[in-house]
């Protein structure tokens, strides 16, 4: 089993392989989004980005990390809400007023 640095996980270290295997890290789903149109129209005072369980393929208990693009660097952020429903569909929301939309990436493990 090896250890590699991965900036897209919380502590930065990723254990790869199992036993004596040299296989790579677990599959990840990454979706980039912009600061405007990808958030859609506001509803109930919130903008939302949704990812279906079928799209991310990580089941009903995925780990989700959200990153904001700050001048080309990705900083981990906490949106207003991060919701995983019983089917594994993911929604992240931010406020409409003040408008707190941002460009970034969602990492689903």
Question: pLDDT per residue over 9-61, tens digit each?
Answer: 555 555 554 444 444 456 899 999 999 999 999 999 999 999 999 999 999 99
Residue 71 clears pLDDT 90, i.e. is over it: yes
What are the distances in angstroms from CA 4 to CA 13, 19, 94, 109?
6, 16, 33, 16
C-alpha–C-alpha distance, residues 77 and 97, integer Å: 18
Instruction: Give the SS3 label for residue 92.
Output: strand
pLDDT for residue 41? 97
pLDDT for residue 67? 98
Mean pLDDT, the chain, as a whole number? 86
pLDDT for residue 62? 95
Among the listed residues 24, 45, 41, 31, the one whose alpha carbon sits nearest the alpha carbon of residue 90: 31
Residue 94 clears pLDDT 70, i.e. is over it: yes
Helix (H) or strand (E) holding 50: strand 46-51
Q: What does the angle CA 86 – CA 91 – CA 92 come to, to the nearest 5 degrees?
A: 140
Q: What does the angle CA 76 – CA 80 – CA 84 come to, to the nearest 5 degrees?
A: 85
pLDDT for residue 106? 97
Among the listed residues 25, 2, 17, the one whose alpha carbon sits nearest the alpha carbon of residue 107: 25
């Amino acid at each position: 089993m090896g250890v590699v640095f991965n900036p897209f996980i919380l502590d930065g270290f990723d254990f790869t392989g199992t036993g004596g295997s040299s296989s790579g890290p677990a599959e990840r789903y990454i979706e980039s989004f912009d600061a405007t149109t990808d958030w859609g129209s506001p509803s109930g005072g919130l903008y939302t980005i949704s990812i279906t369980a079928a799209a991310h393929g990580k089941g009903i208990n995925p780990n989700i990390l959200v990153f904001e693009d700050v001048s080309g660097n990705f900083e981990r952020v906490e949106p207003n809400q991060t919701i995983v429903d019983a089917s594994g569909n993911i929604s992240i929301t931010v406020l409409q007023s003040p408008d707190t939309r941002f460009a970034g990436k969602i990492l689903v493990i």
